[in-house]
Copies of this chain bind each other. A is one copy, B any other.
Amino acid sequence: MAGARRHFFVCTNRRPEGAPKASCARNGSEDVLFALREEREKRGLSADIFITATGCLGPCPGEGGCTMLVYPEGVWYANVKTEDVDELVERHMIGGEPVERLRDPYYT
């Protein structure tokens, strides 16, 4: 996979205000996406790390945060918030190790 050693997908699905079910964009996923891209640029990782916004990925978030998925590992994250971005960048984007505390307990 030349040029894409790791690919981060961030769900930016948005349900209307007042919808009974939460959605990633309403839970701040666009801020998570922006922060991930900013860190990638800062650290000079643009050739190796792809970051893509998606429609609904399947698993919906709970009270806070958003759904993320990283390939080629196939690691699902649940309820990711902007305050988790530094750890995701250090540990997973750079270190190659999933952040266990953020993994989706059902999608593994």
Contact surface of A with B, Cβ cutoff 8 Å: 1-4, 7, 9, 12, 50, 52-58, 69, 71-74, 107-108
Taken together as a complex, chains A and B put the C-alpha atoms of A9 and B70 apart, in Å, by 13
In the complex, A54 Cα to B33 Cα: how many Å? Answer: 13
Q: Can you identify 25 A-B contacts, CB atoms within 8 angstroms?
A: A1-B74, A1-B108, A3-B107, A4-B74, A4-B107, A7-B69, A9-B9, A9-B52, A9-B54, A12-B55, A50-B57, A50-B58, A52-B54, A52-B55, A52-B56, A52-B57, A52-B58, A53-B54, A53-B55, A54-B55, A71-B71, A71-B72, A71-B74, A72-B72, A72-B74
Return chain B residues, CB-CB under 8 Å to A107: 2-4
